[in-house]
Amino acid sequence: MNDPIYSKSTQLIDQSSPNSLASTRYAYMVCAVAALAGLLFGFDIAVINGALIFLREQFHLSDLQTEFAASSLLVGCIGGAGIAGWLSDQYGRRAVLSASALLFGISSIGAAIPHHFLEFEIARFIGGVAIGVASMLAPLYIAEVSPAHIRGRLVSFNQMAVVTGILLAYLVNWSLSFTGPSGWRWMFAVAIVPSFGLFLGLFFVPESPRWLVEQKRDEDALTVLQKIEGARTASQQLLEIRASVVEEAGTLRDLLAPTLRRPMFLAVSLAILQQITGINTVLFYGPIIWEQQLGGQTHSAAIGANVTIGLVNFLATLVALWLIDRSGRKPLLMISSACMAVCQLILGIAFLLHAPPPLLVLGCMLLCVAALAVGLGPGVWVLMAELFPTRVRGRAMSVANIALWIASFVLTVTFLSLAHAITITGAFCVYSGMCILAFLIVWRLTPETKGKTLEEIEAFWRTSNH
């Protein structure tokens, strides 16, 4: 083979074969830095959970304004997801993640110091842009720098960081709920610390090798692949990436090509269903549900109940991290959606009782969150990062992420109004139906991607279309 890059790689193999354990450790280190974006994502999403009670009192918010306080972040997420793919394809995954770290920091300060409700909304919108960028780029970047045999685990590591951020937000909210009405300001300000950590850490990780190949920087890509994959497989990976880049035009029009219609449908539909199964009702409105539906709960007690939910979410994601490359994506997604459907239905029935038993409500919430954390939570993000060819991956994931955040916004901005219109029981029955739909789509249409390289997945779509 007359290829100078390939020859250079084989020479390196002959001279010194890198330790595969060292390569794996390096991949984990790189992904850990990128996953800080996931931690910020989780923290910023969940911190409103405890702050919302105090915001309602300080700014005298109606139900409609409360919905907008919770969902203004999500409007920014839609915008961030919309530009993330284009920006990352133009300037690289690492540079755009660095910009999102700066936006996280600006938002955390801005949300902590407002004197008017509009100022708070603007700060949260900026944070939403950062989340929209990070939610798309962090799993995409991790997927592109991960060896195939542990890619599911490493992309799920990002989800682990997300739920760690959620748990951290719940703990911060609960601890600061005892400090008085102004404690909510510190709830938002805390995020400046991980924002700085992400910005600093990104100076020490490489650019995505797949993006480097797109930019015709094959030697740089080979250097990164040797560190991640080891020299024995790096040259073959480089050739596969190069071939996939040559074959793909990478335009928005290509997203409608016959070979991409099914992965596009799956990514968009699962992204939407992950959100409208109702999980954000717990993430955003948990304390309000506790106060309004169960009664007799102090602010701190209602916020404290969510710490338990956050802990279960964290532990269940650890289970997903262990299972996803062993059991595969598809079985976990099916079990998850089926369990969530049952939990949401029981939760809706519980609210029909005159005095819903708090332990029953909490138990259903815990099971539902655990089910999501084992399957639909990490599984959807993993699939979105795996389903698409290199040249269109950024744009395709942007489309899926826009759909995800629009669904999240619609769910969040309508929950209180929907509960008033058809009762909270009716709302949770609707969410249960969405879980059933997710189960059917995974069962009938979703292929298993466990253990396959991104190039093998791309080849599967080409052959399955014939």
- What pLDDT sits at residue 324? 83
- Token pair in block for residue 59: 């700014």
What's the distance, CA 331 to chain centroid? 20
- What pLDDT sits at residue 9? 45
What's the distance, CA 224 to chain centroid? 25
Interval 366-399: pLDDT, tens: 899 899 989 998 888 888 878 887 667 777 877 8
Say yes or no to pLDDT of 289 above 80: no
Whether 41 is in a domain gets the answer yes
Say yes or no to pLDDT of 30 above 60: yes
Contacts of 18 (CB under 8 A, 6+ apart): 226, 227, 230, 231
Whether 264 is in a domain gets the answer yes
Say yes or no to pLDDT of 333 above 90: yes
Say yes or no to pLDDT of 277 above 50: yes
- What pLDDT sits at residue 404? 86
- Token pair in block for residue 227: 């560190």
Interval 93-127: pLDDT, tens: 999 999 999 999 999 999 999 989 999 999 999 99
- What pLDDT sits at residue 179? 85
- What pLDDT sits at residue 310? 85
Backbone φ and ψ of 56, nearest 5°: -60, -40
Q: Directed axis angle between helix 299-323 and helix 151-176, to 10°?
A: 170
Averaged pLDDT, 400-428: 87
- Residue 444 and residue 338: Cα distance in Å, rounded? 14
Distances (CA, A) of 210 to 46, 60, 305: 33, 50, 44
Say yes or no to pLDDT of 15 above 90: no
Whether 4 is in a domain gets the answer no
Interval 73-84: pLDDT, tens: 889 988 898 888
Say yes or no to pLDDT of 278 above 80: no
Say yes or no to pLDDT of 466 above 50: yes
- Token pair in block for residue 8: 């250079």
- What pLDDT sits at residue 447? 87
The one-letter code for the residue type at 112 is A
Burial tier of 117 (Cβ tally within 10 Å: 0-12, 13-18, 19+) = middle
pLDDT band at 295 (very low <50, low <70, confident <90, very high): low
Whether 2 is in a domain gets the answer no
Q: Could you give the residue ranges of the DSSP H alpha helices within 92-150?
A: 93-112, 117-145
Q: Which CATH number goes with the domain that contains 309?
A: 1.20.1250.20
Question: What's the full length of the chain, in residues?
Answer: 466
- Residue 135 and residue 397: Cα distance in Å, rounded? 10
The one-letter code for the residue type at 151 is R
Averaged pLDDT, 338-342: 95
- For residues 111 and 124, the answer to whether their CB atoms sit within 8 Å is yes
Domain count, the chain: 1
CA-closest candidate to residue 321, choices 332, 336, 311: 332
- For residues 210 and 241, the answer to whether their CB atoms sit within 8 Å is yes
Helix (H, G, I), strand (E, B) or coil at 234: helix
Q: What is the dihedral of CA 186, 203, 42, 89, to 10 degrees?
A: 130
- For residues 247 and 367, the answer to whether their CB atoms sit within 8 Å is no
Among 3-17, 204-218, 440-454, which is the least confidently predicted range?
A: 3-17
Contacts of 101 (CB under 8 A, 6+ apart): 37, 40, 130, 195, 196, 198, 199, 202
Residue by residue, DSSP assigns 181-249 as TTHHHHHHHTTHHHHHHHHHHGGGSPPPHHHHHHTT-HHHHHHHHHHHH-HHHHHHHHHHHHHHHHH--
Contacts of 147 (CB under 8 A, 6+ apart): 23, 24, 27, 228, 229
pTM above 0.85, yes or no: no
Say yes or no to pLDDT of 139 above 60: yes
Whether 1 is in a domain gets the answer no
Whether 280 is in a domain gets the answer yes
- What pLDDT sits at residue 441? 94
CA-closest candidate to residue 176, choices 190, 196, 191, 192: 190
Average model confidence (pLDDT) across the chain: 83
Residue that wins the pLDDT comparison between 254 and 47:
47
CA-closest candidate to residue 271, choices 170, 95, 132: 132
- What pLDDT sits at residue 14? 40
pLDDT band at 13 (very low <50, low <70, confident <90, very high): very low
Neighbours of 456 (CB within 10 A): 12
The one-letter code for the residue type at 252 is L
Whether 42 is in a domain gets the answer yes
- What pLDDT sits at residue 11? 45
What is the domain range of residue 162?
9-464
Whether 28 is in a domain gets the answer yes
pLDDT band at 261 (very low <50, low <70, confident <90, very high): confident
Say yes or no to pLDDT of 234 above 50: yes
Q: What is the 3-state secondary structure (H, E, C) of 230-248?
A: CHHHHHHHHHHHHHHHHHC
